[in-house]
Structure 1
Amino acid sequence: MKQKSMQWILILLITLIWGYSWILMKDALRYMGPQTFSALRFVTGAVVMMCIVWLSRIGRPPRSAIPHLVVVGILQTSVVFTLVMYALNFIDAGKSSLLLYSMPLWSGLFAAIFLKEPISPVRSGGIVFGITGLLIVMGADALSHQTADVIIGELLIVLSAVSWGASNIYYRLKLGHLSKFQVNAYQMLFGTIGIALVAWVAEGGEPIVWSVESIYYVAFTGVLASALCFTVWFMLIGNLDMVSATMPSLLVPVFGLYFGWLLLGEVVTISVMIGSVLILNGVFLSSLRKG
Structure 2
Amino acid sequence: MNFFKQHKWSIPVIILLVTLIWGYAWVLMKEGLQYMGPFTFSAFRFSIGTITMFIILWFLKISRPPKWAYKHLLVVGSLQTALMFLLVMYGLKFVEAGKSSVLLYSMPIWSTILAVLFLNEKVTKPKVIGLALGLMGLLTILGWDIWFNQNPGVILGEALIIISAIGWGASNVYYRKHLSQLNQMQTSAYQMGFGTLGIMLVTFIMEGGQPIEFTPYSIYLVIFTGVLASAFCFTVWFYILNLIDMVTATISTLLVPVFGLLLGWILIEETITWSIFIGSTLILIGIIISTKSKKPRMT
TM-score by length of 1: 0.98
**Counterpart for residue 164 of structure 1:** 168
Which of 15, 20, 25 is the matching residue for 1:11?
Answer: 15
**Counterpart for residue 71 of structure 1:** 75
Alignment of 1:182-261 (within 5 A): 182-261=186-265
1:140 equivalent to 2:144? Answer yes
Q: Which is further off, 137-146 or 186-195?
A: 137-146
Aligned in 2, Cα 1:232/1:63: closer, same or farther, shift over 3 Å? Answer: same
Q: 1:30, 1:181 → 2: CA distance? A: 32
**Counterpart for residue 31 of structure 2:** 27
1:105 equivalent to 2:109? Answer yes
Q: CA deviation at 1:207?
A: 1.1
Percent of residue pairs identical: 53
Which AA in structure 1 matches 2:80?
Q
Number of equivalent positions: 291
Runs of 4+ in 1 over 6 A off after TM superposition: none
Any conservation in 2 of the 1:143–1:151 contact (CA below 8 Å)?
no
- CA-based RMSD of the aligned residues comes to 1.2
Any conservation in 2 of the 1:32–1:208 contact (CA below 8 Å)?
yes
Q: CA deviation at 1:174?
A: 0.7
**Counterpart for residue 130 of structure 1:** 134
Q: Deviations over 1:205-247 (max 9, x none)?
A: 0111000000000000000000000000000012211011111
Any conservation in 2 of the 1:19–1:254 contact (CA below 8 Å)?
yes
Alignment of 1:25-104 (within 5 A): 25-104=29-108
Q: CA deviation at 1:135?
A: 0.4
Q: 1:252, 1:217 → 2: CA distance? A: 18
Question: Which 5+ residue runs of structure 1 have no aligned equivalent?
Answer: none
Q: CA deviation at 1:2?
A: 5.8
Q: 1:91, 1:56 → 2: CA distance? A: 40
Alignment of 1:254-269 (within 5 A): 254-269=258-273
TM-score by length of 2: 0.95
**Counterpart for residue 120 of structure 1:** 124
Q: 2:7, 2:174 → 1: CA distance? A: 25
Any conservation in 2 of the 1:127–1:247 contact (CA below 8 Å)?
yes
Q: 1:143, 1:267 → 2: CA distance? A: 19
